[in-house]
Amino acid sequence: MKILIPLADGFQEIEAITIIDVLRSAGIEVDTVSLMGSVVTGGHGVKIMADKKISDIEIEKYDGIVLPGGSQGVANLAKSSQLKEFLGKMNEKEKLIAAICAAPMLLSRYHLLDKRRATIYPGMERELPYPRDEKVVVDGNIITSQAPGTSMEFALAIVEKLLGEEKVLELKEQLVV
């Protein structure tokens, strides 16, 4: 299993780091990817050195893509035509697409949620065609979640989708969830 996590300046740190850590703890290979330089700065000033640049990515080698939120981070992700292309290719092959906080808005803008239930940061529901007031929503190959406080539940839902319930139970014990 190999997952791509694009990071743009302004990303929400709790979301990104929780997702990266939980997925790697589950044995899933994760590549963090920068849209620009090697170092990406989160919305609260935390700097992360990305594993790769988006220009170096061959999307066919990935089993899924996960978008962290953060309003500025999502606005910066929206500027990437390559990311939009990657999301379209992932959806065509029904590979995992996951987005948290404000990031489900991108999925909606790219028409990936036209016939899907999804959730988003509270107050942004108008951005979705079929919003749900749930912490995490799984609809086919797409998983969405609400906010930093739902990051652990979101990351575990991704692990369950990719590796099954048994792996999630093992992780919950290990992480004391």
Rounded (10°) angle between helices 151-163 and 165-175: 140
Cα(31)–Cα(10) distance, integer angstroms:
18
Number of C-alpha atoms within 13 angstroms, CB side, residue 80? 25
Residue 115, pLDDT score: 93
Average pLDDT over residues 104-133: 97
pLDDT for res 6: 98
Active-site residue, from 16, 33, 57, 101 = 101
Active site residue 100: no
Please state, in angstroms and rounded to a whole number, the distance separating the CA atoms of residues 121 and 126. 11
Reported as a pLDDT band with limits 50, 70 and 90, residue 36 is confident
140, two tokens = 């086919």
Q: CA-to-CA distance for 77 and 171, rounded, in angstroms? A: 30
Domains and CATH numbers, the chain: 2-175 (3.40.50.880)
Q: Calculate mean pLDDT across residues 101-125.
A: 97
Structure-token pair, residue 32:
């963090």
Helix, strand, coil content of the chain in percent (nearest 5): 40, 20, 35
**What does pTM read for this prediction?**
0.97
Contact 18, 156 (CB under 8 A): no
